[in-house]
Amino acid sequence: MMAKNNIPEVSYGILIQNQSDSVIDEVVEQIRMLGYGVIDSGYSSSELNNLSEVFNHTRAEYIKNQGEEKLRAANEYNTIRAPLTHGDEAFLRLALNKNLLPVIKKLIMGKFILNQQNGVINPPGETYNQAAWHRDIPYQHFVSSMPIAINALFCVDDFTCENGSTFLLPASHKAEAFPSAHFIKNNAVQIEAKAGSFIILDCMVFHSGGFNSTGSERRAVNHLYNIPFFKQQINIPKIMPDVSLTAEEKEILGFTFQEFNSVSEYLSR
Ligand SMILES: O=C(O)CCC(=O)C(=O)O
């Protein structure tokens, strides 16, 4: 990569230019253009320590309840599905993070819902189910002029090149096909981020976890938010414990976007 000295500040022949007047606008513009950006969640160090502890506790309970053998057989041993529905309330608050939601609101026009929340563990010295190029809406090869889904990968630990932080292909959300091996070799970037950051991706950007060559796990919590026309991976409203939620929080969790069970139910709403 060339040094970026003396970037020109003047232009000509331009009739339209994006404006970015705030930190949110800056990250939103980068996600629209390149497909990725990083923001701080705003948590204090004691809140981050608590998230780290509840992550481990929730994982241990999850393995106990689902069974290690079953999880390994399904290649799910390094994933915790829907922790906001069975773990500490901190997972629910993470999905509704006050620094994150304004960014999602700017990126997805109109209503959106949480499609899924997954704890992700990149284990030391071995591969795992996210260490392969994919889109977060897999098997799809269309592009859209506006984001239809955004993912927000919360870094429980520092993400470093050594512990296999996320690789991505900038702007690949704008092209239908998965790029060639040559393009990947020349254009893949690896994102380093501090614990407490959200790495935000247009869900159609190709990305992959890297190889963790340290001695410690690299833990994250991934969130996928999408327009309400896509069904959730797991029906969150159906299995959510009884917690008090505002009307907006209920909407984001999908309570108001459940399928109708009959024509008369549809008409009565
Ligand atoms: O672990 C990572 O760095 C990537 C996680 C990921 O790709 C995913 O959860 O979809």
Domain count across the chain: 1
In sequence order, what are the residues at sequence separation of 6 or more whose Cβ sits closer than 8 angstroms to the Cβ of residue 51? 43, 90, 94, 156
79, amino acid identity = T
Name the strand (E) or helix (H) holding 56: helix 45-66
What does the alpha-carbon distance between residue 92 and residue 65 come to, in Å, rounded to a whole number? 20
Between residues 129 and 164, the one the model is more confident about: 164
Residue nearest to atom 6 of ligand 1 (CA): 130
What CATH number is attached to the domain comprising 120? 2.60.120.620
**Which pLDDT tens digit goes with each residue over 196-234?**
999 999 999 999 999 999 999 999 999 999 999 999 999
Residue at 102 is within a domain: yes
Residues flanking ligand 1, CB < 6 Å: 120, 122, 130, 136, 153, 166, 207, 209, 220, 222
Chain-centre distance of CA 154, in angstroms? 7
Q: Which domain holds residue 104?
A: 23-256
What does the alpha-carbon distance between residue 258 and residue 77 come to, in Å, rounded to a whole number? 30
Residue that is written with structure tokens 């410690």 in the block: 216
Residue at 159 is within a domain: yes
Tell me the mean pLDDT in the region 245-253.
97
In ligand 1, the atom with minimum distance to the C-alpha of 208 is 7
What does the alpha-carbon distance between residue 153 and residue 206 come to, in Å, rounded to a whole number? 14
Give residue 47 CA to ligand 1 midpoint distance, Å: 23
**Which pLDDT tens digit goes with each residue over 4-53?**
789 999 999 999 999 999 999 999 999 999 999 999 999 999 999 999 99
In ligand 1, the atom with minimum distance to the C-alpha of 134 is 7
Residue nearest to atom 2 of ligand 1 (CA): 209
Computed from CA positions of residues 143, 208, 35, 178, in that sequence, does the dihedral angle turn out positive or negative? negative
What does the alpha-carbon distance between residue 107 and residue 212 come to, in Å, rounded to a whole number? 31
Residue at 157 is within a domain: yes
Residue at 15 is within a domain: no
Residue at 11 is within a domain: no
**Band of residue 2 on the pLDDT scale cut at 50, 70, 90:** low
Which residue out of 207, 217, 218, 219 has the highest number of ligand 1 atoms within 8 Å of its CB and is therefore the one to mutate?
207
